[in-house]
Structure 1
Amino acid sequence: MASSSHRRRPRPEQDFQWRPVRGPLLAVAAVAAVALVVTLIVAFRPGDASGGGQDRAVSDAGAVTSATVSDSASPTSPKPSATASTPTAGKHTTPPASATPSTTATRRATSGTARTPSTTTAPAAGRIRPGTTYDGVATSYDVGNGDGACLFGPTDDVMTAAMNTADYETAKACGAYVSVRAASGKSVTVRITNECPAPCAVGQLDLSQQAFAKLAPLSAGRIPITWSLLSPATSDTISIRYKTGSTQYWCGIQAIGHRNPLARLEVRTGGGWLALTRTAYNYFLSEQGTGCGAELRLTDIYGEQLVVPALAVRADVVQRTGVQFARH
């Protein structure tokens, strides 16, 4: 091989100096011939099929493809998949030719999501989330006939409470059941029927006097508490009520008796479902009359949806639906 000095300063006489001679050529040819003979001997040794290396390459590629489509770990794989130890129906069945790894993964993710405990996945939960314990204080007030800002109407059920404005969240807390526990260990379950405005602080519950008395004497006035959301057992079903003054041209719609907090109320229209705006007094309004008297779709904070058949627009009349959200 030429030195770097020869590359930098080529001269005409170098052509003669570097012209190949016959002696070296003969030596190179002899070495090449010996190498060729050795190669042929190795290639045709007994026990080696012709083209065996290529066959092995194709087989390995096929094994990778099969593992990908069937989505199962190879027996010799040093790192089995995380789901390999959890048998599922049809796990080792070869999928149809049309199935692709991405499609299989999507189906598995969807079913997995459906099996996930709702208390950890409340997709429509607002400030009050399942499985969360909140710190606050409890005060008390005279509930009178049991009605409140949620406009559920008079009731004999006095195990109720008013939620502070922040956690009331424009009536999203209306109808929620919460378990309240005092430092003494005593507890009571109440339903949110009212709003407690300032000076009620975040986390504060203004309990009915009857509910407060379950935790401490009324003379205590103000006690530290913890509280959390419940999804209680109930035999009741959800009812629908159209607000006073509702017609086919304007209406307010309210759901009553739902087990879990209501996240959304929609009405059926010619173009699909339309979500109505919720008011602080717990009615969903259709200002232009869209969907008044049509099918309704209710969604709780866990994402469960219930479709209610069309009901007549009967103002201030409670109409039962026969449906209820699942318990969590």
Structure 2
Amino acid sequence: MASPSHRRPVRGRRPGLLPLIALAAVVLLVSLVVALRPGGEPDTVHTATEPSSSPRASVTPTAPKAKAKAGAEAKARPTPSVPSPSPARTTARPSARPSPVASPRPAPRAVSDSAPLAGRIKPKVTYQGVATHYDAADGDGACLYGPSPDLMVAAMNTTDYETSKACGAYILVRAAGGASVTVRVTNECPLPCAPGQLDLSKQAFAKLAGLSAGRIPVTWSLLSPSTSDTVSIRYKIGSSRHWCGIQALGHRNPLARLEVSTGNGWSRLTRTEYNYFLSPDGTGCGGPLRLTDIYGEQLTVDGIAVRPDAVQPTRVQFARH
């Protein structure tokens, strides 16, 4: 009987041990699951890196920057919905360029159809008068240019001569029958020559009518001819560093001003009826010169020494109009 009673307790302990082991295994498994589940410490890291799905993390930090940028570019970008800044810059450039494009336009050429410094004789105007003729000899006259290379010259009536302002002007003269001739003003025709009257050399008059006609009605207008010549400068006889008279020759357009450099700017000289510009106290004699035609174009000439009665060529010429 001892054996059976001994075997019973042994059988009774086996069933009780298995549940304990199973329970321990379950507890261990549960602890591991709890420790590793998303709610543990790794979950905290995940929450910090999850802003892409969270409205606060993705929108709140970036939205203020987008608004600030839009505010800064509001002037350059008319449509805030455009995301890329490059279209905004592309749009802004053309809007800023029209003014520079308009200003580089021929500022010098803006006066091509007008002559703000012209006197009585203006471009694009047709004048009516009469033509007579005289013996021009070598073509010299009141303008004191000296002998002319050709004898297609004219003397301008005193009114339109305008204290030698007409000197050097090229004039297209037309007769009633259609004949025409181009002459250069080198002389003055005193009274009784009337305003509008041209006294032509015999050679020029003969291009319009026979010399026996003596006096014919004409129309005439200012020209700006083509030429390969450049302007020349001449100092009057008796000129020095203390007094000088300066003359410009060979200019394509009528000359409006001649100025001398004073070191602090430009000083305009007075023009005489014999077509020299005078510096009575010697200011600027032998220094840089600035020439201005009736269209407002300016030419600067340097290196012209005071050499009385010597024709000194330059490298400049006024533009054709």
With structure 1 as the length reference, what TM-score do the two structures score?
0.68
- The partner residue of 1:185 within 142, 162, 178 is 178
CA contact (8 A) 1:172 1:261 kept: yes
Question: 2:253 corresponds to which letter in structure 1?
Answer: N
Distance 2:135 2:95 in 1: 67
> Aligned ranges for residues 125-274 of structure 1 at < 5 Å?
125-274=118-267
Distance 1:274 1:148 in 2: 28
Change in 2 beyond 3 A, CA 1:312/1:116:
closer
Q: Does 1:277 align with 2:264?
A: no
- Deviations 1:163-212 (CA, angstroms, capped at 9, x unpaired): 01111111111000010000010000000000011111111000000000
In the alignment, which residue of structure 2 is the partner of 1:95? 96
- Deviations 1:223-247 (CA, angstroms, capped at 9, x unpaired): 0000000111111111000000000
Q: Does 1:324 align with 2:317?
A: yes
> Aligned ranges for residues 83-122 of structure 1 at < 5 Å?
93-95=94-96, 110-111=103-104, 114=107, 118-122=111-115
Distance 1:325 1:298 in 2: 9
1:121 Cα deviation (Å)?
A: 2.1
Identity of aligned residues (%): 68
Distance 1:301 1:91 in 2: 41
1:156 Cα deviation (Å)?
A: 3.9
Question: 1:153 corresponds to which letter in structure 2?
Answer: G
Question: 2:229 corresponds to which letter in structure 1?
Answer: D
CA contact (8 A) 1:296 1:310 kept: no
Local SS of the residue matching 1:136: strand
Structure 1 runs, 4 residues or longer, greater than 6 Å off: none
> Aligned ranges for residues 61-72 of structure 1 at < 5 Å?
none
Higher helix share: 2
Distance 1:291 1:209 in 2: 41
With structure 2 as the length reference, what TM-score do the two structures score?
0.69
CA contact (8 A) 2:133 2:201 kept: yes
Question: 1:207 corresponds to which letter in structure 2?
Answer: L
CA RMSD after TM alignment? 2.4
When Rg is computed on C-alpha atoms for both structures, the one with the higher figure is: 2
Local SS of the residue matching 2:96: coil
CA contact (8 A) 1:119 1:131 kept: no
1:95 Cα deviation (Å)?
A: 2.5
5+ residue gaps, structure 2:
1-73, 79-90
